[in-house]
């Protein structure tokens, strides 16, 4: 850009350092004149340095093996979300919900004491999605998930004989694998009720009785 200063034509650019040198400039009337050109060279703006925050879990947090198991559960949830929901939640939304429940900012910082709770929350999420009609029709692992839940909780409750009796009396079969999909879904909910009742019973037993005045 050029500009008349004190009757002279000066060349001004967006620069920082000022350099004077002689040149021939042409004014508006077309007359050539010799003058000084002022060039201002502006130094480039240096952006502020960036810092990477590295999270270092401590011994009070879950380890690599536990993190891998939680990641596998989250992967299962993402697959089921895609099958069961019109607007499925991505990995980030699931991790965010889990972290919020456990009051932490990252799954790397989940406390070891909260690992079982984290697994429980994710498995319950899987259970809710697996119970949808869409999952029953489209999930190739639907029966496998039901078997896994039923057998794991029957073992914890030590209710093997109770299960056999229930299968004989209710469905006239001798094995869970003999059930059709509707029956298997019903048994899943039955075992879920047994689980809740068993947990409540244990909690009542572990709660100390109030002292008499």
What whole-number distance in Å separates Cα of residue 12 and Cα of residue 202?
85
DSSP code of residue 107:
G
What whole-number distance in Å separates Cα of residue 24 and Cα of residue 34?
5
* pLDDT per residue of the chain (213 residues) written in tens, 0 to 9: 555 545 555 454 444 444 444 444 444 444 545 555 555 556 677 777 776 766 788 899 999 999 999 999 999 999 999 999 999 999 999 999 999 999 999 999 999 999 999 999 999 999 899 989 899 889 999 999 999 999 999 999 999 999 999 999 999 999 999 999 999 999 999 999 998 887 544 443 433 433 433
What whole-number distance in Å separates Cα of residue 96 and Cα of residue 4?
62
Phi, psi of 134 (to 5 degrees): -65, -45
Taking the whole predicted model, whether its pTM rises above 0.85 is answered as no
Report the pLDDT value the prediction gives residue 116, as an integer from 0 to 100. Answer: 96
């Amino acid at each position: 850009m050029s500009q008349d200063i004190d009757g002279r034509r000066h060349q001004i650019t967006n620069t920082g350092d000022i350099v004077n040198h002689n040149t021939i400039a042409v004014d508006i009337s077309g007359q050539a004149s010799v003058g000084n050109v002022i060039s201002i060279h502006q130094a480039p703006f240096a952006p502020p340095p960036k810092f990477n925050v590295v999270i270092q879990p401590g011994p009070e947090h879950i380890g690599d093996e536990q993190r891998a198991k939680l990641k596998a559960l989250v992967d299962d949830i993402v697959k089921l979300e895609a099958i069961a929901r019109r607007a499925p939640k991505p990995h980030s939304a699931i991790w965010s919900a889990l972290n919020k429940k456990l009051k932490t900012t990252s799954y790397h910082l989940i406390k070891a004491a909260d690992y079982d709770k984290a697994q429980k929350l994710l498995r319950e999420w899987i259970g809710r999605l697996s119970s949808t009609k869409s999952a029953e029709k489209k999930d190739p692992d639907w029966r496998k998930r039901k078997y896994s839940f039923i057998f794991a909780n029957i073992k914890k409750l030590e209710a093997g004989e109770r299960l056999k009796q229930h299968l004989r009396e209710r469905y006239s079969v001798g094995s869970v694998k003999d059930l059709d999909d509707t029956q298997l879904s019903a048994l899943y909910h039955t075992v879920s009720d047994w689980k809740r009742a068993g947990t409540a019973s244990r909690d009542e037993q572990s709660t100390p009785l109030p002292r008499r005045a």
